[in-house]
Amino acid sequence: MNPSPSAKIVSFVAASPSGWIRKTAATRGHSRLPVILSALLCAIFTNPSFAAAPAMAPVTPALAAKEALPPGAKILSLEIAPAAVKLHGCFDAVQLLVTAKLANGDTVDVTRLATYAVAAPSAAVTAAGQVAPLANGKTSVTATLAGKSAQAALEVVGYDPHAKVDFIRDVNPVLAQLGCSAGACHGAKDGKAGFKLSLRGYDPIFDVRSLVDDHAGRRMNFASPDDSLMLLKATGAVPHEGGQRTKFDDKYYRIMRAWIADGAKLDLSVPRVVRIEVTPLNPVLQVIGSKQQMRIIATYADGRQRDVTAEGFIESGNQDVALTERGGLVTTLRRGEAPVLARYEGAYAATTITVMGDRSGFAWSEPEKWNKVDDFTAAKWQRMKILPSGLCSDDEFLRRVTLDLTGLPPTVTEVREFLADTRPTRTKRDAVTERLIGSPDYVDHWSNKWADLLQVNRKFLGEEGAKGFRDWIRQEIDTNTPYDQFAKKILTATGSNRENPAASYYKVLRTPTDTMENTTHLFLATRFNCNKCHDHPFERWTQDQYYQMSAFFARVDLKKDPAAGNKTIAGTAVEGAKPLYEIAYDKDEGEVTHDRTGQVTPPDFPYAAKVVAASLRSVPSPSSPPAIEDPKSKTENAPAAAPTRREALADWMTSPDNRYFALSYVNRMWGYLLGVGLIDPLDDIRAGNPPSNPELLAWLTQEFVQSGFNVRHLQRTIVQSRTYQLSLATHKWNADDRTNYSHAIARRLPAEVLFDAVLRVTGSVPNFPGVKAGTRAAQLPDSAIDVPSGFLASLGRPVRESACECERSGDLGLGSIMALLAGPAVSSAINDPKNELARLTTTATDDRTLVDEIFLRTLNRHATPKETDSTLASWKTIRSQDTQLAATLAEREAWWAPLSAQKQKEREQAIAAATAAVAARTVEIAPQAAAAAQKRDEIIAAETAALAAYESALAAQLPAWETALDAARLGTAWVPLEVTKATANNLNKLTKLPDGSYLASGPAANFVSYDVAAESELIGITGILLEVLPHESLPAFGPGRAAGNFVLTEFSLKWSEKAGKRNGVEATFNDARADFSQAKFDVKTAIDGKADGARDGWGISKKYGEPHYARFSLGEPIGSADGATLNFQFQQQFREGFSIGRFRLWATTSTAPLELGLPADVIAALKVPANERTAAHTATLIAYHRSTDAGLLRHQQALYTAQLPVPEDPKLRDLKAALATAEQPVAIDPKLAQLRADAALSTTQLANQRLTGAQDLAWAIINNPSFLFNR
C-alpha cells in the first residue's frame, strides 16, 4: 500500500538526511536530527494505518486504434434507436444508435461497426450512423453486424432544397457549431477583429444587427449571396484569422446562404428550444478504450422534437476517464466515471458515463450497514464493482471524528477511556458522537467555518464589528438554530449591526449585484457571476435572471448609526471610510438596470419553489414576479403588508421545496466530513457537475429538510454511518476509488485545526496578539489575527473576502512546509518550558512510558514496539553526537586560527595603505579645494544680496499686483483639499510638506500611479485644481522627476459620501485647461480615458523649475452636506521616471472651474478695503504674492544652487571608498559560525537529554503525515 502524494512530499522533506534539514531545523539540534528523522519518521510513516490510494499512472489514449468488438464477444441481437426516424426538410439529420446485446449479458455500442442499407433512395446513412434526407418518401433503414440486424422505419417529409431557413432555429446553431459565436472568437466580450456576436447566440437581435447592419451591411450581399463576406470568410475565400470553418456547398454553407438569399430576416416568434435530452442515460461501458455514441434530442416550445446531435455539444467533465468528439462520440480512457454535459441553444442535459474496465474475479459481498447512508453507498459500490475497506480502528475513529466535529484531537484521557471501553463498537462510537456534537469545542469549530463563509473581516467590519458578528454566529451555532432560520435571519437582517450583528452581511456586501452573487453562491452553491454579461456559458442561468435576482437587493440601504460616533473603518482608494456601525434598512425605492437592455429589471425568481413560511406567504412561479411591499401604500389600519423584496427572496430561498438550498448545504457538510463532496467542488452545483451518488444526496437532503433543517441531525447521520468510519487502507478492489467513499480519504488539517492541534498535544498555551491568552485559533474573531510568523496564513487560512470554498488552501507548498519545519510557531510550542512535554519528562516512570505518552498525545494511539525501539536507540546517540560535534568544532577552530590571523594582518596592511593614499591626495589638491571654496563663498554672498534686494522691492509691488487682477481671477475661489491618505506604487513614497503639498521620492519606475484620498465639506464641487510645484530636491527643480518633466497619463476621481449613501461613484471630467501644455501632450488628454502612455497625457517640456496649474471641470457637481471622500488616481505610464514630483489639490464650487482663480482666503482678503484689512489679511496677501512671484522663485533657486557643496575630487572619493572597504572586519568562516551555534545549542540540550529527546520526538511526529492529515 502506497502513501498519498501529499504524504510523500512531507515525508521526503522531513526525513531528508541532507544538510538542508539541519539548517531549516536548527532549533531542534543540528547534530542528531538526521538520525532521528531517518529512523523514526520512516517507522511512523510506513505504519499501515496511513495508507491511501496510489497515484494513477499516466495514460496515453489510443484514439486512432481501430474499433472492434470486445475479444471473444458473441452478439445475440441488435437494437436500433430511434425505432422510427422522421426527417423534416432538407437540412434535418438524425443520429442512429445501434446497440449489440452480447452473450455474457453486456451491451456494447456498435453504431460505427454496423453496415446500413436504406430500402428506398429517400435518405442516406453515413458510416457513423447519421441519417440525412434525399427526397420525400417512406422507407426503412437496416443495420447489420455479424449476421444480426435491426430495422427502423424512415420517413422524409417537407424536402425542398429551396425551403426558407430561420435564423434562430437553423442559422444560430450553425454559427455555434462552427465556433463563430464561441468565447474565443466573435462571442468574446469585445468580439474579434471588429466583429462581435453574442456568446453562443443568446441574443439573436444583437447578432442579426451585427451581421446585417454593422459596417454599412458589408457582411451581407443579398443580390449575390455567395459574395457575402459572412460566407467568404467562413470558407476561407478571403483571409480569415479563424481559418476555413466550412466548405462551399456543405450543409452549413447552404443553410447560411439560404438565409441570406431570403433577406437575412429575424422571426422572434419562432418556437425556441425549451429542453434537451441526452441518450443513452448513464451508460456503462465494460471495456477501456471503447466508444459510445450519444444522441441529443431537443424539444421546442410548440412540442416538436428534433435530433440535434450534429449541431449540439457534448463535453466530458472528467477527461482522465473519457474524451468527447464532435458529433456526440465519447471515447473512454480509463476506469472511472465521467459526467457528460450536453448543450444546445441554451438548454442543458447531463448524464454520467461509467467505464468499468477489467473486473475479472470480482465477487460482490454485501457489507454491514449501520444506517440508510450505507444502503446508498453499497448500491453504488455494487454497480461499480467495488468492495469497501474494513472499519477503521478505534483509535483512528476517535481521532477522525474528534478532529472533524471539534477541530481538536482527543485528549490522552479520552483516548485511554475509549480504548478501554468494552461495549460493542457501534454503541461506544455513537456515544462519542453524541458527546462531541454540541460541545463547546464543537461550537467554536463550526462558528469559525461560518465566520469564513460570512467574511467576518475587520477590513469590512472593524475590530468591534467583526467580534460582534462572530459572537452572533457562535450564539446561533450554540443554540442549534435551524439552517433555514439561520439563513433567513441573515438575508432579512435590519437595524444597526451593533445591535443586530446579522446586518453585518450588508456592510460586507454593499451593492445589489455583489450581494446577489454572494448570496446565490453561499446558499445555493450556484455561480451567478458567470451570467452577468451574457447567458451562463455552461448552465441554465440567463443574463435576465442575473438582474432579476439582483433586484431583490436593490432597495437595501445603509445609514450611519449615531452610536458609531467618529469611529470609522478605513477606506480604500476606491471607497471612502465607512462608519464603524451602520443601520441596514429597506428603502422606498431602488431598481436595477439591465446591462444589455438598459431597462429597469423587476425582481423575479429563476425557478419555482413552494413557500411555507410563518406568514404563509405564497411566492409565485418565475413567470410572475412576487408581490412586493410598496412602502408608499401603507396606511395605519392596513392589512398585513406584503413582504419586502428581501423577505420574499428569503422565503423562496429557504423553502423546503427549493431544489438547491438544502441540497447545497448537505453537500458541503458531506464534503467537510468525508473529504470529497458528493458534488465537488462543494460550491459549484451545475448540470455538468452532477453528484457522484445522486440517490444518496437526494435522501440526505430529504432527511435534512424533514428534520427541520437540523444541522446536528445531519452531522450525526453522516458520522454514525459505517461509510464514514471505513479505514484508510485500500485493497485491490478499491485502490483506485476516490469518489465513491469505499475507503477513507486522508485530508490535511486546516490551518486553524493544525495550530490548535499542535498547541493541544504539546500542552502549550496559545498567545495570539491582541486577544486573551489561551484563545485557540478557531476562536479568533477576525481573519487579520495571526501569530507573528504568519502560521495561519502560510497554512492556507482564507482571507475572508469571498464566500468561495476555494479561499481555503489545503495544499502543502514550500511556505507551508517551512512554517512547520522551521517556523517559530511549532518550535516555540515544543520548546515551551511550561508545556506538557516538560512535565511528562519529570513524571513518566521510564523512557518507554514517556515515548508511549507522547504517541498518545500526538497520534492518539499507543506506540508500536518498533517505534519505541527506534526512538530509544536515537536518544542513546545524543551524548556521542555531542562529543562528535565538539571534535568537529575543535578541528575547524584549529584550521581557522592561522587563516584568521593572516586575514587580519592583511586587513591592517590594507587600512594603512588606504589611509596614506587619502592623506596624500588631500594634501595634493588642497590649493584647488581652497580656491573652489572661496569662489563658492563669493557666489553665495552675491546671490544672498541679490535675493535681499529683490525681496525689498517685491513688497512695494503688492498694490500693483492687486490692481492687475481681473474679474476672472476673482470669480473662481479654490479651497485646499484635506488629504488623508496618499500612496504610490513601485516602491515610491509621497510625503506631506508643511504647506499641504506632497513630495514624491523613490526609484524611477515605469507605470507609476498615485492614489490620493481627500476629505471635503463642500457641496456642489464643480472643478478640481491640480497644482504641480517645484522643489529643490527634484531634478531641474521639477515639478517633474524626469529632468523636470512628467507625463500625467490619466487623472481620475471617484467619490463617496461619508454617510455611506454613495460609494465609489465615478466622477466624470468634461474639460481641462492648464497654464501650459507641452506640444502633443495637452492637459485634455489626461481625462480622455486612455492610459497607454505612448502619446497621451499632460506634459510640460522645457518649462521646468516653476509651478503649473491644471484645472478639471466636472460634468456633474459632487459633494455632500455630510462630507465627502474624494479618491484621486494619477496614472503616469509614459516612460520610466516621468512622474510628478510635488503637487497640491484644490476644489471649487464656482460656475467657471476652468479659470485659474485664486485661493478662497486670498479672495476673501482682497474683498476687504485696503484701509480696513487686518494684519492677518495683509499677511495672507503677502504670502500668496511671494509664493507665486516667478522672479523671487528664480532668486531662491539660484541661492540654493550656490549653497550646494563643492563637488568632491573624484580620485579622493574613490580613495575614501577603498579605505571604507579595507576597514570591513574579517568575515568569520560560515561553516565555523554554524558549528559554534550548533555546539552551543547541543550543550544546552545535553543538560536535559530526556527533555531534548521528547521534544525531538514531538517535533518529528508533528511534521509527519500521520499528524498533519485527518485519516
Q: Report strand pairing: 973-976 vs 1158-1159.
A: parallel
Across the chain, mean pLDDT equals: 87
- pLDDT tens per residue across span 1187-1224: 999 999 999 999 999 999 999 999 999 999 999 999 99
Mean pLDDT for 73-94 is: 94
pLDDT at 814: 64
Mean pLDDT for 513-534 is: 83
pTM of the model: 0.71
Quick one: cell of 182? 464561441
pLDDT at 803: 87
CATH of 272-358, one of 1.10.1740.10, 2.60.40.1080, 3.30.390.10, 3.40.50.2300: 2.60.40.1080
Question: Confidence class of residue 1122 from pLDDT cuts 50, 70 and 90?
Answer: confident
pLDDT at 49: 42
pLDDT at 50: 44
Q: Report strand pairing: 84-88 vs 148-157.
A: parallel
pLDDT at 55: 34
Other Cβ atoms closer than 10 A to 103 = 10
Q: Give the count of alpha carbons within 13 A of 884, CB side only.
A: 8
Indicate the SS3 state at residue 811: coil
pLDDT at 640: 56
pLDDT at 216: 58
- pLDDT tens per residue across span 273-291: 999 999 999 999 999 999 9
Does position 747 have pLDDT exceeding 50, yes or no?
yes
Determine whether 1230 is exposed, middle or buried from the number of CB atoms within 10 Å of its CB (0-12, 13-18, 19+). Answer: exposed
Question: Confidence class of residue 20 from pLDDT cuts 50, 70 and 90?
Answer: very low
Which has more pLDDT, 751 or 527? 751
DSSP alpha helix (H) spans, 525-660: 543-550, 645-653
CATH topology of domain 75-161: Immunoglobulin-like (2.60.40)
pLDDT at 342: 92
Determine whether 1044 is exposed, middle or buried from the number of CB atoms within 10 Å of its CB (0-12, 13-18, 19+). Answer: buried
Question: Confidence class of residue 189 from pLDDT cuts 50, 70 and 90?
Answer: low
Quick one: cell of 1034? 527634484
Question: Confidence class of residue 815 from pLDDT cuts 50, 70 and 90?
Answer: low
Which has more pLDDT, 231 or 853? 853
Amino acid at 1006: N
Mean pLDDT for 644-655 is: 94
Q: Report strand pairing: 582-586 vs 329-332.
A: unpaired
Lowest mean pLDDT among 24-28, 688-692, 905-909: 24-28
pLDDT at 1092: 63
CA–CA dist 545, 548 (Å, integer): 5
Quick one: cell of 1162? 486670498
Residues found in the chain? 1271
CA angle in degrees (0–180, nearest 5) for 554-555-559: 120
Does position 184 have pLDDT exceeding 80, yes or no?
no
pLDDT at 634: 35
Quick one: cell of 281? 442515460
Indicate the SS3 state at residue 261: helix
Does position 371 have pLDDT exceeding 50, yes or no?
yes
CA angle in degrees (0–180, nearest 5) for 690-696-697: 50
Sign of CA dihedral 712, 713, 716, 721: negative
Question: Confidence class of residue 632 from pLDDT cuts 50, 70 and 90?
Answer: very low
Lowest mean pLDDT among 53-67, 140-154, 834-848: 53-67
Question: Confidence class of residue 599 from pLDDT cuts 50, 70 and 90?
Answer: confident
Question: Confidence class of residue 39 from pLDDT cuts 50, 70 and 90?
Answer: very low
pLDDT at 612: 67
CA–CA dist 110, 144 (Å, integer): 10
Assess whether the region 75-161 and the region 973-1156 belong to the same CATH fold. Answer: no
Does position 16 have pLDDT exceeding 60, yes or no?
no
Does position 259 have pLDDT exceeding 80, yes or no?
yes
Is residue 1271 within 8 A of residue 396, CB to CB? The reply is: yes
Does position 1107 have pLDDT exceeding 70, yes or no?
yes
Listed by start position, the domains of the chain span: 1-52+833-925+1226-1271, 75-161, 167-261, 272-358, 973-1156
Does position 12 have pLDDT exceeding 70, yes or no?
no
- pLDDT tens per residue across span 954-1009: 988 999 999 999 988 999 999 999 999 999 988 899 999 999 999 999 998 878 89
pLDDT at 1018: 94
Question: Confidence class of residue 571 from pLDDT cuts 50, 70 and 90?
Answer: low
- pLDDT tens per residue across span 703-721: 999 999 999 999 999 999 9
- pLDDT tens per residue across span 347-367: 889 999 999 999 989 999 999
Question: Confidence class of residue 566 from pLDDT cuts 50, 70 and 90?
Answer: confident
Indicate the SS3 state at residue 76: strand
Does position 225 have pLDDT exceeding 80, yes or no?
yes
Question: Confidence class of residue 57 from pLDDT cuts 50, 70 and 90?
Answer: very low
Mean pLDDT for 76-94 is: 94
Amino acid at 1231: K
Q: Report strand pairing: 329-332 vs 322-325.
A: antiparallel
Q: How far is CA 1020 from CA 412, 967, 1157, 1249, in A?
A: 70, 22, 17, 77
- pLDDT tens per residue across span 666-692: 999 999 999 999 999 998 888 888 999
Does position 46 have pLDDT exceeding 60, yes or no?
no
Does position 1016 have pLDDT exceeding 80, yes or no?
yes
Is residue 446 within 8 A of residue 481, CB to CB? The reply is: no
Mean pLDDT for 866-876 is: 91
Question: Confidence class of residue 2 from pLDDT cuts 50, 70 and 90?
Answer: very low
Indicate the SS3 state at residue 772: coil
Amino acid at 618: S
Is residue 592 within 8 A of residue 554, CB to CB? The reply is: yes
- pLDDT tens per residue across span 466-489: 999 999 999 999 999 999 999 999
Lowest mean pLDDT among 33-47, 363-377, 839-853: 33-47
Say what percent of the chain tops pLDDT 90. 63
Any residues with CB less than 8 A from the CB of 1004 and at least 6 apart, and which? 1041, 1042, 1136, 1137
Amino acid at 1000: A
According to DSSP, residue 41 is labeled I
Determine whether 919 is exposed, middle or buried from the number of CB atoms within 10 Å of its CB (0-12, 13-18, 19+). Answer: exposed
Beta bridge partners of 79: 99
Indicate the SS3 state at residue 1173: coil
- pLDDT tens per residue across span 757-784: 999 999 999 999 888 999 999 999 988 8
**CATH tag, 973-1156:** 2.60.120
Does position 28 have pLDDT exceeding 50, yes or no?
no
